Structure 1
Amino acid sequence: MASGKAKNLSKLSLRNPKNKDKASNQNTQNSNNNNSLSNATKPQPASASAQLSFFLDQFQSGNGIKISSLELESVNDKCILDLSESLDQDVSLLGKHVMAAFGPSWKEELCEKHLLDGKIDPGSPAILIISTSALRSIELLRGLRALTKECHVAKLFSKHMKVEEQVSLLKNRVNIASGTPNRIKKLIDIEALGLSRLSVIVLDTHPDVKGYSLFTLPQVRDEFWDLYKSYFHDRLLQGSLCLGLYGPLSYGNELKGKKRSPIE
Protein backbone atom coordinates (compact mmCIF):
# COMPACT_ATOMS: atom_id res chain seq x y z
CA MET A 1 0.00 0.00 0.00
CA ALA A 2 2.74 2.40 1.04
CA SER A 3 4.74 1.32 -1.96
CA GLY A 4 1.81 2.17 -4.27
CA LYS A 5 1.44 5.63 -2.78
CA ALA A 6 5.15 6.23 -3.15
CA LYS A 7 4.98 5.30 -6.83
CA ASN A 8 2.04 7.66 -7.39
CA LEU A 9 3.80 10.51 -5.55
CA SER A 10 6.94 9.80 -7.54
CA LYS A 11 5.00 10.01 -10.80
CA LEU A 12 3.33 13.28 -9.72
CA SER A 13 6.64 14.80 -8.70
CA LEU A 14 8.10 13.91 -12.09
CA ARG A 15 5.05 14.97 -14.08
CA ASN A 16 3.99 18.22 -12.36
CA PRO A 17 7.17 20.29 -12.90
CA LYS A 18 7.04 19.56 -16.63
CA ASN A 19 3.37 20.37 -16.81
CA LYS A 20 3.93 23.48 -14.74
CA ASP A 21 6.77 24.67 -16.96
CA LYS A 22 4.76 23.83 -20.08
CA ALA A 23 1.74 25.71 -18.78
CA SER A 24 3.91 28.64 -17.77
CA ASN A 25 5.49 28.78 -21.22
CA GLN A 26 2.07 28.52 -22.85
CA ASN A 27 0.72 31.36 -20.71
CA THR A 28 3.72 33.52 -21.56
CA GLN A 29 3.26 32.80 -25.25
CA ASN A 30 -0.46 33.56 -25.05
CA SER A 31 0.29 36.79 -23.20
CA ASN A 32 2.82 37.82 -25.83
CA ASN A 33 0.36 36.97 -28.60
CA ASN A 34 -2.36 39.00 -26.91
CA ASN A 35 -0.02 41.97 -26.48
CA SER A 36 1.02 41.76 -30.12
CA LEU A 37 -2.62 41.60 -31.20
CA SER A 38 -3.48 44.51 -28.94
CA ASN A 39 -0.66 46.62 -30.33
CA ALA A 40 -1.61 45.68 -33.88
CA THR A 41 -5.28 46.61 -33.46
CA LYS A 42 -4.81 49.64 -31.19
CA PRO A 43 -5.34 52.89 -33.15
CA GLN A 44 -2.12 54.79 -33.67
CA PRO A 45 -1.75 58.57 -33.96
CA ALA A 46 -1.83 59.73 -37.56
CA SER A 47 1.44 60.83 -39.12
CA ALA A 48 1.94 64.39 -40.33
CA SER A 49 1.62 63.11 -43.90
CA ALA A 50 -1.72 61.42 -43.11
CA GLN A 51 -3.00 64.56 -41.38
CA LEU A 52 -2.07 66.74 -44.34
CA SER A 53 -3.70 64.29 -46.77
CA PHE A 54 -6.85 64.26 -44.63
CA PHE A 55 -7.04 68.05 -44.51
CA LEU A 56 -6.51 68.49 -48.24
CA ASP A 57 -9.12 65.81 -48.91
CA GLN A 58 -11.57 67.69 -46.68
CA PHE A 59 -10.76 70.94 -48.48
CA GLN A 60 -11.43 69.44 -51.88
CA SER A 61 -14.61 67.56 -50.97
CA GLY A 62 -15.95 70.43 -48.85
CA ASN A 63 -15.55 72.92 -51.69
CA GLY A 64 -16.13 70.71 -54.72
CA ILE A 65 -12.74 71.52 -56.18
CA LYS A 66 -9.51 69.74 -57.01
CA ILE A 67 -6.17 71.16 -55.99
CA SER A 68 -3.78 71.41 -58.90
CA SER A 69 -0.55 69.42 -58.94
CA LEU A 70 1.34 72.73 -58.98
CA GLU A 71 -0.29 73.80 -55.72
CA LEU A 72 0.34 70.41 -54.13
CA GLU A 73 4.06 70.75 -54.85
CA SER A 74 4.28 73.67 -52.43
CA VAL A 75 2.53 71.81 -49.60
CA ASN A 76 4.41 69.26 -47.52
CA ASP A 77 4.53 67.75 -44.04
CA LYS A 78 6.22 70.87 -42.69
CA CYS A 79 2.83 72.57 -42.99
CA ILE A 80 1.54 70.34 -40.18
CA LEU A 81 2.02 71.07 -36.48
CA ASP A 82 1.75 67.56 -35.04
CA LEU A 83 -0.71 67.57 -32.13
CA SER A 84 -1.52 63.83 -32.30
CA GLU A 85 0.94 62.49 -29.72
CA SER A 86 -2.03 60.89 -27.97
CA LEU A 87 -5.34 59.99 -29.58
CA ASP A 88 -7.09 60.98 -26.36
CA GLN A 89 -5.44 64.39 -26.61
CA ASP A 90 -6.01 65.59 -23.08
CA VAL A 91 -6.75 69.32 -23.25
CA SER A 92 -4.22 69.90 -20.48
CA LEU A 93 -1.46 68.84 -22.87
CA LEU A 94 -2.35 71.35 -25.58
CA GLY A 95 -0.12 74.02 -24.04
CA LYS A 96 2.88 71.69 -24.12
CA HIS A 97 2.33 70.98 -27.82
CA VAL A 98 2.11 74.69 -28.56
CA MET A 99 5.25 75.53 -26.59
CA ALA A 100 7.15 72.81 -28.45
CA ALA A 101 6.01 74.26 -31.77
CA PHE A 102 7.49 77.67 -30.98
CA GLY A 103 10.72 76.27 -29.55
CA PRO A 104 13.01 78.33 -27.30
CA SER A 105 11.20 81.59 -28.12
CA TRP A 106 7.81 80.45 -26.81
CA LYS A 107 7.85 82.80 -23.79
CA GLU A 108 8.57 85.88 -25.87
CA GLU A 109 6.02 84.93 -28.51
CA LEU A 110 3.20 83.60 -26.34
CA CYS A 111 3.46 85.11 -22.86
CA GLU A 112 4.69 88.70 -23.17
CA LYS A 113 1.97 91.33 -22.92
CA HIS A 114 3.64 94.49 -24.21
CA LEU A 115 3.29 95.87 -27.71
CA LEU A 116 6.53 96.49 -29.59
CA ASP A 117 6.55 99.19 -32.26
CA GLY A 118 7.35 97.71 -35.64
CA LYS A 119 7.42 94.15 -34.28
CA ILE A 120 4.21 93.33 -32.44
CA ASP A 121 1.03 94.75 -33.94
CA PRO A 122 -2.10 95.07 -31.80
CA GLY A 123 -4.76 92.44 -32.27
CA SER A 124 -2.48 90.09 -34.18
CA PRO A 125 -2.20 86.65 -32.55
CA ALA A 126 0.58 84.15 -33.14
CA ILE A 127 -1.87 81.27 -32.69
CA LEU A 128 -5.51 81.06 -33.75
CA ILE A 129 -7.69 78.20 -32.51
CA ILE A 130 -10.85 77.51 -34.50
CA SER A 131 -13.73 75.46 -33.07
CA THR A 132 -17.40 74.77 -33.77
CA SER A 133 -18.77 76.55 -30.70
CA ALA A 134 -18.05 79.01 -27.91
CA LEU A 135 -18.22 76.23 -25.34
CA ARG A 136 -15.63 74.15 -27.16
CA SER A 137 -13.37 77.19 -27.61
CA ILE A 138 -13.39 77.83 -23.88
CA GLU A 139 -12.73 74.17 -23.16
CA LEU A 140 -9.60 74.19 -25.32
CA LEU A 141 -8.33 77.35 -23.66
CA ARG A 142 -8.10 75.50 -20.35
CA GLY A 143 -5.03 73.75 -21.68
CA LEU A 144 -3.36 77.10 -22.39
CA ARG A 145 -3.79 78.77 -19.00
CA ALA A 146 -0.08 78.61 -18.30
CA LEU A 147 0.51 80.72 -21.41
CA THR A 148 -2.24 83.29 -20.92
CA LYS A 149 -1.72 84.51 -17.36
CA GLU A 150 0.09 87.69 -18.38
CA CYS A 151 -1.42 88.27 -21.82
CA HIS A 152 -5.03 87.16 -21.85
CA VAL A 153 -6.43 85.22 -24.77
CA ALA A 154 -8.88 86.84 -27.18
CA LYS A 155 -12.21 85.00 -27.21
CA LEU A 156 -13.68 85.40 -30.65
CA PHE A 157 -17.21 84.02 -30.69
CA SER A 158 -20.66 85.57 -30.63
CA LYS A 159 -22.13 83.98 -27.52
CA HIS A 160 -22.36 86.62 -24.76
CA MET A 161 -19.78 88.77 -26.56
CA LYS A 162 -20.43 91.79 -28.76
CA VAL A 163 -18.27 92.71 -31.73
CA GLU A 164 -17.54 96.09 -30.14
CA GLU A 165 -16.14 94.43 -27.03
CA GLN A 166 -13.85 92.24 -29.10
CA VAL A 167 -12.69 95.17 -31.23
CA SER A 168 -11.70 96.99 -28.04
CA LEU A 169 -9.82 93.94 -26.76
CA LEU A 170 -7.96 93.57 -30.04
CA LYS A 171 -6.43 97.03 -29.67
CA ASN A 172 -3.98 95.44 -27.24
CA ARG A 173 -1.35 92.76 -27.70
CA VAL A 174 -2.88 89.35 -28.37
CA ASN A 175 -0.77 86.20 -28.53
CA ILE A 176 -3.48 83.56 -28.65
CA ALA A 177 -7.03 83.84 -29.99
CA SER A 178 -9.77 81.23 -29.97
CA GLY A 179 -13.18 81.32 -31.56
CA THR A 180 -15.66 80.27 -34.21
CA PRO A 181 -15.29 80.76 -37.99
CA ASN A 182 -18.04 83.31 -38.54
CA ARG A 183 -16.94 85.74 -35.83
CA ILE A 184 -13.25 85.34 -36.66
CA LYS A 185 -13.89 86.22 -40.31
CA LYS A 186 -16.02 89.21 -39.39
CA LEU A 187 -13.26 90.62 -37.18
CA ILE A 188 -10.68 90.11 -39.92
CA ASP A 189 -12.99 91.71 -42.49
CA ILE A 190 -13.30 94.89 -40.39
CA GLU A 191 -9.53 94.86 -39.78
CA ALA A 192 -9.85 94.44 -36.03
CA LEU A 193 -8.15 91.05 -36.02
CA GLY A 194 -4.73 91.17 -37.67
CA LEU A 195 -2.75 88.38 -39.30
CA SER A 196 0.76 89.87 -39.35
CA ARG A 197 2.04 87.53 -36.61
CA LEU A 198 -0.12 84.50 -37.32
CA SER A 199 2.00 81.39 -37.81
CA VAL A 200 -0.22 78.57 -36.48
CA ILE A 201 -3.93 77.79 -36.73
CA VAL A 202 -5.25 74.93 -34.63
CA LEU A 203 -8.36 73.29 -36.07
CA ASP A 204 -10.44 71.40 -33.54
CA THR A 205 -11.62 68.20 -35.23
CA HIS A 206 -13.20 66.54 -32.19
CA PRO A 207 -16.80 65.47 -32.96
CA ASP A 208 -19.70 66.75 -30.88
CA VAL A 209 -22.31 64.51 -29.24
CA LYS A 210 -24.01 64.04 -32.61
CA GLY A 211 -20.78 63.12 -34.36
CA TYR A 212 -20.30 66.40 -36.23
CA SER A 213 -17.02 68.31 -36.37
CA LEU A 214 -15.64 71.55 -37.76
CA PHE A 215 -15.46 69.95 -41.20
CA THR A 216 -18.92 68.36 -41.16
CA LEU A 217 -21.29 70.47 -39.06
CA PRO A 218 -23.71 72.19 -41.48
CA GLN A 219 -23.32 75.96 -41.75
CA VAL A 220 -20.24 76.03 -39.50
CA ARG A 221 -18.42 73.93 -42.10
CA ASP A 222 -19.32 76.40 -44.84
CA GLU A 223 -18.31 79.34 -42.66
CA PHE A 224 -14.97 77.72 -41.92
CA TRP A 225 -14.13 77.07 -45.58
CA ASP A 226 -15.15 80.63 -46.44
CA LEU A 227 -12.71 81.88 -43.77
CA TYR A 228 -9.97 79.48 -44.82
CA LYS A 229 -10.17 80.29 -48.53
CA SER A 230 -10.30 84.03 -47.86
CA TYR A 231 -7.36 84.32 -45.50
CA PHE A 232 -5.41 81.12 -44.92
CA HIS A 233 -5.06 78.95 -48.02
CA ASP A 234 -2.59 81.17 -49.84
CA ARG A 235 -0.50 81.52 -46.69
CA LEU A 236 -0.40 77.74 -46.35
CA LEU A 237 0.80 77.39 -49.94
CA GLN A 238 3.45 80.05 -49.34
CA GLY A 239 4.75 78.18 -46.30
CA SER A 240 4.07 81.00 -43.83
CA LEU A 241 1.34 79.15 -41.95
CA CYS A 242 1.17 75.80 -40.15
CA LEU A 243 -1.94 73.75 -39.44
CA GLY A 244 -2.55 71.74 -36.29
CA LEU A 245 -5.39 69.22 -36.41
CA TYR A 246 -6.52 68.64 -32.83
CA GLY A 247 -8.68 65.54 -32.71
CA PRO A 248 -9.44 62.31 -34.59
CA LEU A 249 -9.44 62.23 -38.36
CA SER A 250 -13.08 61.42 -39.01
CA TYR A 251 -15.04 62.00 -42.20
CA GLY A 252 -18.27 62.62 -40.33
CA ASN A 253 -21.93 61.68 -40.52
CA GLU A 254 -22.84 62.77 -44.00
CA LEU A 255 -19.91 60.92 -45.57
CA LYS A 256 -20.60 57.54 -43.99
CA GLY A 257 -21.01 54.83 -46.57
CA LYS A 258 -19.69 57.05 -49.35
CA LYS A 259 -16.46 56.29 -51.10
CA ARG A 260 -13.84 59.00 -50.92
CA SER A 261 -11.81 60.08 -53.88
CA PRO A 262 -8.09 59.95 -53.10
CA ILE A 263 -6.01 63.09 -53.47
CA GLU A 264 -4.21 63.03 -56.75
Structure 2
Amino acid sequence: MATTEVKPSAVKNPKRNRRPSHGPKKDLKKKSKKTKKSKAPTFDKTIEKSIRNDQKTENEDDEQLYSEPVSASEQLSYFLNQLESAIGIKVSSLELEPIKDTCIVELSQRLDQDVSNLGEHIKLSCGSSWRETLCEGETLERNVEPGNPSVLVISSSALRSLELLRGLHSLTKHCPAVKLFSKHLKVEEQVSLLKKRVNIGSGTPNRIKKLIDIEALGLSRLDMIVVDMHPDVKGFSLFTLPQVRDEFWDLYKNCFHQRVLEGRLRICMYGPKPAPNLKKKKKN
Protein backbone atom coordinates (compact mmCIF):
# COMPACT_ATOMS: atom_id res chain seq x y z
CA MET A 1 0.00 0.00 0.00
CA ALA A 2 1.47 3.33 -1.02
CA THR A 3 1.89 6.00 1.61
CA THR A 4 1.87 9.71 0.97
CA GLU A 5 4.68 11.76 2.41
CA VAL A 6 3.55 14.35 4.85
CA LYS A 7 5.59 17.53 4.89
CA PRO A 8 6.70 18.61 8.33
CA SER A 9 5.39 22.12 7.73
CA ALA A 10 1.95 20.74 7.19
CA VAL A 11 1.83 19.21 10.65
CA LYS A 12 0.26 21.58 13.13
CA ASN A 13 2.28 21.93 16.27
CA PRO A 14 -0.29 22.17 19.03
CA LYS A 15 2.19 23.82 21.37
CA ARG A 16 3.39 26.40 18.83
CA ASN A 17 -0.03 27.43 17.61
CA ARG A 18 -1.80 27.33 20.94
CA ARG A 19 -2.71 30.77 22.14
CA PRO A 20 -1.55 31.45 25.63
CA SER A 21 -4.34 31.55 28.09
CA HIS A 22 -4.50 34.80 30.04
CA GLY A 23 -7.73 34.16 31.77
CA PRO A 24 -10.92 35.96 30.90
CA LYS A 25 -10.59 38.67 28.31
CA LYS A 26 -10.23 42.07 29.89
CA ASP A 27 -12.02 45.12 28.76
CA LEU A 28 -9.36 47.42 27.36
CA LYS A 29 -11.50 50.46 27.86
CA LYS A 30 -10.79 52.27 31.08
CA LYS A 31 -13.68 52.35 33.41
CA SER A 32 -14.72 55.84 34.19
CA LYS A 33 -14.50 56.44 37.88
CA LYS A 34 -16.51 59.05 39.65
CA THR A 35 -14.07 61.36 41.27
CA LYS A 36 -14.79 64.20 43.60
CA LYS A 37 -14.03 67.62 42.27
CA SER A 38 -10.99 68.99 44.01
CA LYS A 39 -11.58 72.26 45.73
CA ALA A 40 -9.51 75.24 44.74
CA PRO A 41 -6.85 76.06 47.33
CA THR A 42 -7.95 78.69 49.82
CA PHE A 43 -6.04 81.89 50.52
CA ASP A 44 -4.81 80.42 53.80
CA LYS A 45 -3.41 77.27 52.16
CA THR A 46 -1.69 79.29 49.44
CA ILE A 47 -0.04 81.46 52.08
CA GLU A 48 1.04 78.43 54.12
CA LYS A 49 2.65 76.85 51.06
CA SER A 50 4.60 79.99 50.19
CA ILE A 51 5.79 80.38 53.77
CA ARG A 52 6.92 76.74 53.94
CA ASN A 53 8.89 77.19 50.72
CA ASP A 54 10.45 80.36 52.07
CA GLN A 55 11.44 78.67 55.32
CA LYS A 56 12.92 75.73 53.42
CA THR A 57 15.13 78.11 51.43
CA GLU A 58 16.29 79.80 54.61
CA ASN A 59 17.16 76.47 56.21
CA GLU A 60 19.36 75.55 53.25
CA ASP A 61 21.72 78.46 53.90
CA ASP A 62 25.16 77.66 55.25
CA GLU A 63 24.73 80.28 57.94
CA GLN A 64 21.62 81.35 59.77
CA LEU A 65 20.92 84.63 61.52
CA TYR A 66 19.37 84.81 64.92
CA SER A 67 19.05 87.64 67.37
CA GLU A 68 18.95 87.86 71.09
CA PRO A 69 15.93 89.60 72.65
CA VAL A 70 15.79 93.20 71.44
CA SER A 71 15.15 95.73 74.20
CA ALA A 72 12.43 98.37 74.04
CA SER A 73 15.02 101.15 73.71
CA GLU A 74 16.68 99.37 70.76
CA GLN A 75 13.32 98.87 69.08
CA LEU A 76 12.40 102.52 69.62
CA SER A 77 15.76 103.67 68.23
CA TYR A 78 15.33 101.50 65.17
CA PHE A 79 11.75 102.70 64.61
CA LEU A 80 12.74 106.38 64.86
CA ASN A 81 15.69 105.87 62.50
CA GLN A 82 13.30 104.37 59.96
CA LEU A 83 10.95 107.33 60.45
CA GLU A 84 13.72 109.88 59.88
CA SER A 85 14.94 108.01 56.80
CA ALA A 86 11.43 107.83 55.33
CA ILE A 87 10.35 111.45 55.81
CA GLY A 88 13.81 112.87 55.11
CA ILE A 89 13.70 115.09 58.19
CA LYS A 90 15.57 114.48 61.42
CA VAL A 91 13.28 114.32 64.42
CA SER A 92 14.36 117.02 66.86
CA SER A 93 15.48 116.24 70.41
CA LEU A 94 12.51 118.29 71.63
CA GLU A 95 10.16 115.91 69.78
CA LEU A 96 12.04 112.86 71.01
CA GLU A 97 11.96 113.91 74.65
CA PRO A 98 8.38 112.79 75.42
CA ILE A 99 8.78 109.51 73.51
CA LYS A 100 9.52 106.89 76.15
CA ASP A 101 10.41 103.22 75.89
CA THR A 102 6.97 102.47 77.31
CA CYS A 103 5.43 103.28 73.94
CA ILE A 104 7.04 100.07 72.63
CA VAL A 105 5.25 96.82 73.43
CA GLU A 106 7.75 94.26 74.70
CA LEU A 107 6.51 90.83 73.71
CA SER A 108 6.86 87.59 75.66
CA GLN A 109 10.11 85.71 75.01
CA ARG A 110 8.34 82.42 75.73
CA LEU A 111 6.36 82.53 72.49
CA ASP A 112 7.60 82.71 68.91
CA GLN A 113 6.50 85.77 66.98
CA ASP A 114 4.67 83.87 64.27
CA VAL A 115 1.12 84.11 62.98
CA SER A 116 -0.37 81.48 65.25
CA ASN A 117 0.80 83.27 68.41
CA LEU A 118 -0.24 86.82 67.55
CA GLY A 119 -3.49 86.66 69.52
CA GLU A 120 -1.71 85.32 72.61
CA HIS A 121 0.97 88.02 72.40
CA ILE A 122 -1.68 90.75 72.29
CA LYS A 123 -3.55 89.21 75.22
CA LEU A 124 -0.35 89.12 77.31
CA SER A 125 0.54 92.71 76.38
CA CYS A 126 -2.85 93.85 77.69
CA GLY A 127 -2.55 91.87 80.92
CA SER A 128 -5.39 90.29 82.84
CA SER A 129 -7.78 93.04 81.70
CA TRP A 130 -7.38 92.15 78.00
CA ARG A 131 -11.09 91.49 77.59
CA GLU A 132 -12.05 94.92 78.95
CA THR A 133 -9.37 96.63 76.84
CA LEU A 134 -9.96 94.79 73.57
CA CYS A 135 -13.62 93.88 73.83
CA GLU A 136 -14.95 96.92 75.63
CA GLY A 137 -18.68 97.30 75.21
CA GLU A 138 -19.34 93.63 74.50
CA THR A 139 -22.51 93.72 76.57
CA LEU A 140 -23.22 97.47 76.46
CA GLU A 141 -22.67 98.19 72.79
CA ARG A 142 -24.14 101.67 73.03
CA ASN A 143 -21.14 102.76 75.16
CA VAL A 144 -18.69 102.19 72.32
CA GLU A 145 -18.57 104.40 69.24
CA PRO A 146 -18.88 102.35 66.05
CA GLY A 147 -15.82 101.94 63.84
CA ASN A 148 -13.30 102.58 66.63
CA PRO A 149 -10.98 99.58 67.10
CA SER A 150 -8.64 99.01 70.06
CA VAL A 151 -5.96 97.36 67.90
CA LEU A 152 -4.88 97.99 64.31
CA VAL A 153 -2.68 95.40 62.60
CA ILE A 154 -0.80 96.92 59.66
CA SER A 155 0.87 94.77 57.02
CA SER A 156 2.19 95.03 53.48
CA SER A 157 -0.51 93.10 51.56
CA ALA A 158 -4.10 91.89 51.62
CA LEU A 159 -3.07 88.24 51.82
CA ARG A 160 -0.80 88.94 54.76
CA SER A 161 -3.61 90.85 56.47
CA LEU A 162 -5.88 87.83 56.08
CA GLU A 163 -3.23 85.55 57.52
CA LEU A 164 -2.74 87.78 60.55
CA LEU A 165 -6.48 87.92 61.13
CA ARG A 166 -6.48 84.13 61.23
CA GLY A 167 -3.74 84.31 63.86
CA LEU A 168 -6.02 86.55 65.90
CA HIS A 169 -8.82 83.99 65.98
CA SER A 170 -8.46 83.49 69.73
CA LEU A 171 -9.43 87.16 70.08
CA THR A 172 -11.78 87.73 67.18
CA LYS A 173 -14.22 85.06 68.33
CA HIS A 174 -14.86 87.41 71.27
CA CYS A 175 -13.98 90.75 69.65
CA PRO A 176 -15.38 91.70 66.23
CA ALA A 177 -12.70 92.30 63.59
CA VAL A 178 -12.76 94.00 60.19
CA LYS A 179 -10.67 93.68 57.02
CA LEU A 180 -9.10 97.00 56.02
CA PHE A 181 -7.49 96.43 52.63
CA SER A 182 -8.52 97.15 49.04
CA LYS A 183 -8.29 93.75 47.35
CA HIS A 184 -11.84 92.51 46.58
CA LEU A 185 -13.28 94.99 49.09
CA LYS A 186 -14.88 98.28 48.11
CA VAL A 187 -14.64 101.33 50.34
CA GLU A 188 -18.45 101.46 50.54
CA GLU A 189 -18.55 97.91 51.94
CA GLN A 190 -16.01 98.76 54.62
CA VAL A 191 -17.80 101.98 55.54
CA SER A 192 -20.91 99.88 56.13
CA LEU A 193 -19.00 97.41 58.32
CA LEU A 194 -17.45 100.25 60.32
CA LYS A 195 -20.90 101.52 61.29
CA LYS A 196 -20.93 98.64 63.77
CA ARG A 197 -18.82 98.01 66.86
CA VAL A 198 -15.29 96.97 65.85
CA ASN A 199 -12.46 96.02 68.20
CA ILE A 200 -9.69 94.84 65.85
CA GLY A 201 -8.77 95.90 62.33
CA SER A 202 -6.22 94.30 59.98
CA GLY A 203 -5.20 95.91 56.74
CA THR A 204 -2.78 97.85 54.56
CA PRO A 205 -1.59 101.45 55.12
CA ASN A 206 -3.22 103.03 52.09
CA ARG A 207 -6.74 101.74 52.76
CA ILE A 208 -6.50 102.41 56.51
CA LYS A 209 -5.47 106.03 55.79
CA LYS A 210 -8.33 106.47 53.31
CA LEU A 211 -10.92 105.19 55.80
CA ILE A 212 -9.55 107.53 58.48
CA ASP A 213 -9.63 110.49 56.08
CA ILE A 214 -13.31 109.95 55.25
CA GLU A 215 -14.02 109.54 58.99
CA ALA A 216 -15.30 105.99 58.64
CA LEU A 217 -12.49 104.58 60.81
CA GLY A 218 -12.10 106.25 64.20
CA LEU A 219 -9.10 106.35 66.55
CA SER A 220 -10.73 107.33 69.85
CA ARG A 221 -10.24 103.86 71.40
CA LEU A 222 -7.00 102.94 69.63
CA ASP A 223 -4.52 101.53 72.15
CA MET A 224 -2.01 99.66 69.97
CA ILE A 225 -0.78 99.43 66.38
CA VAL A 226 0.82 96.13 65.41
CA VAL A 227 3.45 96.68 62.71
CA ASP A 228 4.10 93.45 60.82
CA MET A 229 7.86 93.04 60.37
CA HIS A 230 7.85 89.65 58.64
CA PRO A 231 9.32 89.59 55.11
CA ASP A 232 7.35 88.13 52.22
CA VAL A 233 8.61 85.39 49.88
CA LYS A 234 10.62 87.97 47.94
CA GLY A 235 12.26 89.29 51.10
CA PHE A 236 10.30 92.57 51.28
CA SER A 237 8.67 93.82 54.46
CA LEU A 238 6.47 96.74 55.41
CA PHE A 239 9.60 98.86 55.94
CA THR A 240 11.37 97.86 52.71
CA LEU A 241 8.67 97.50 50.03
CA PRO A 242 9.03 100.96 48.37
CA GLN A 243 5.45 102.14 47.77
CA VAL A 244 3.96 100.46 50.83
CA ARG A 245 6.80 101.81 52.98
CA ASP A 246 5.97 105.38 51.94
CA GLU A 247 2.26 104.80 52.55
CA PHE A 248 2.94 103.45 56.03
CA TRP A 249 5.04 106.43 57.13
CA ASP A 250 2.51 108.83 55.66
CA LEU A 251 -0.17 107.09 57.74
CA TYR A 252 1.99 107.08 60.87
CA LYS A 253 3.06 110.71 60.58
CA ASN A 254 -0.45 112.05 60.00
CA CYS A 255 -2.53 109.76 62.23
CA PHE A 256 -0.39 108.12 64.91
CA HIS A 257 2.75 110.11 65.75
CA GLN A 258 1.05 112.75 67.87
CA ARG A 259 -0.77 110.08 69.85
CA VAL A 260 2.54 108.32 70.51
CA LEU A 261 4.06 111.61 71.72
CA GLU A 262 1.14 112.05 74.11
CA GLY A 263 1.52 108.51 75.47
CA ARG A 264 -1.90 107.45 74.18
CA LEU A 265 -0.72 104.88 71.65
CA ARG A 266 1.66 101.93 71.84
CA ILE A 267 3.68 100.40 69.00
CA CYS A 268 4.14 96.64 68.65
CA MET A 269 6.76 95.60 66.09
CA TYR A 270 5.85 91.99 65.40
CA GLY A 271 8.48 89.73 63.87
CA PRO A 272 12.25 89.86 63.20
CA LYS A 273 13.90 93.18 64.04
CA PRO A 274 17.43 94.21 63.06
CA ALA A 275 19.58 94.99 66.09
CA PRO A 276 23.26 95.54 66.91
CA ASN A 277 23.43 92.23 68.76
CA LEU A 278 22.52 90.18 65.68
CA LYS A 279 24.77 87.13 65.46
CA LYS A 280 25.52 84.39 62.97
CA LYS A 281 25.03 80.74 63.77
CA LYS A 282 26.74 78.10 61.66
CA LYS A 283 24.92 74.93 60.79
CA ASN A 284 26.46 71.76 62.21
TM-score tier by shorter-chain length is 0.7 to 0.9
Displacement of 1:250 in angstroms is 4.1
1:95 aligns to 2:119 (yes or no): yes
Q: Can you list the C-alpha shifts for 1:42-85, whole angstroms capped at 9, x where unaligned?
A: 52121111111110010001111111111111011100012362
Q: Can you list the C-alpha shifts for 1:67-116, whole angstroms capped at 9, x where unaligned?
A: 11111110111000123626951222211111122222211232454554
Partner in structure 2 of residue 197 of structure 1: 221
Letter of the structure 2 residue corresponding to residue 128 of structure 1 = L
For residue 84 of structure 2, the aligned residue among 42, 60, 67 is: 60
Secondary structure at the residue paired with 1:132? coil
Q: CA RMSD in A?
A: 1.9
Does the 8 Å contact 1:120/1:173 carry over to 2?
Answer: yes
Q: Can you list the C-alpha shifts for 1:9-67, whole angstroms capped at 9, x where unaligned?
A: xxxxxxxxxxxxxxxxxxxxxxxxxxxxxxxx952121111111110010001111111
Displacement of 1:144 in angstroms is 1.2
Which ranges of structure 2 fall in alignment gaps of 5 or more residues? Answer: 1-64, 276-284
Does the 8 Å contact 2:226/2:267 carry over to 1?
Answer: yes
Partner in structure 2 of residue 171 of structure 1: 195
Letter of the structure 1 residue corresponding to residue 247 of structure 2 = E
Distance in 2, Cα, partners of 1:227 & 1:123: 18
Letter of the structure 2 residue corresponding to residue 45 of structure 1 = P
Q: Which has the larger displacement, 141-150 or 173-182?
A: 141-150
Secondary structure at the residue paired with 2:168? helix
1:219 aligns to 2:243 (yes or no): yes
Does the 8 Å contact 1:127/1:176 carry over to 2?
Answer: yes
Partner in structure 1 of residue 106 of structure 2: 82
Going by fraction, where is helix more abundant, 1 or 2?
A: 1
Partner in structure 1 of residue 266 of structure 2: 242
Partner in structure 1 of residue 182 of structure 2: 158
Identity, in percent, stands at 66
> Would the alpha carbon gap of residues 204 and 86 (structure 1) be closer, same or farther in structure 2, given more than 3 Å must change?
farther
Letter of the structure 2 residue corresponding to residue 93 of structure 1 = N
Displacement of 1:191 in angstroms is 0.3
Distance in 2, Cα, partners of 1:43 & 1:157: 32
Count of aligned positions: 210
Distance in 1, Cα, partners of 2:180 & 2:226: 14
Secondary structure at the residue paired with 2:179? strand
Secondary structure at the residue paired with 1:232? helix
Does the 8 Å contact 2:107/2:125 carry over to 1?
Answer: no
Does the 8 Å contact 2:108/2:124 carry over to 1?
Answer: no
Displacement of 1:145 in angstroms is 0.6
For residue 170 of structure 2, the aligned residue among 143, 146, 149 is: 146
For residue 104 of structure 1, the aligned residue among 89, 108, 128 is: 128
Letter of the structure 1 residue corresponding to residue 235 of structure 2 = G
Letter of the structure 2 residue corresponding to residue 64 of structure 1 = G
Does the 8 Å contact 2:152/2:222 carry over to 1?
Answer: yes
Secondary structure at the residue paired with 2:67? coil
Displacement of 1:141 in angstroms is 1.5
Secondary structure at the residue paired with 2:242? coil
TM-score w.r.t. length of structure 2: 0.70
> Which aligned runs of 4 or more in structure 1 are off by greater than 3 angstroms?
111-117
Distance in 2, Cα, partners of 1:131 & 1:146: 19
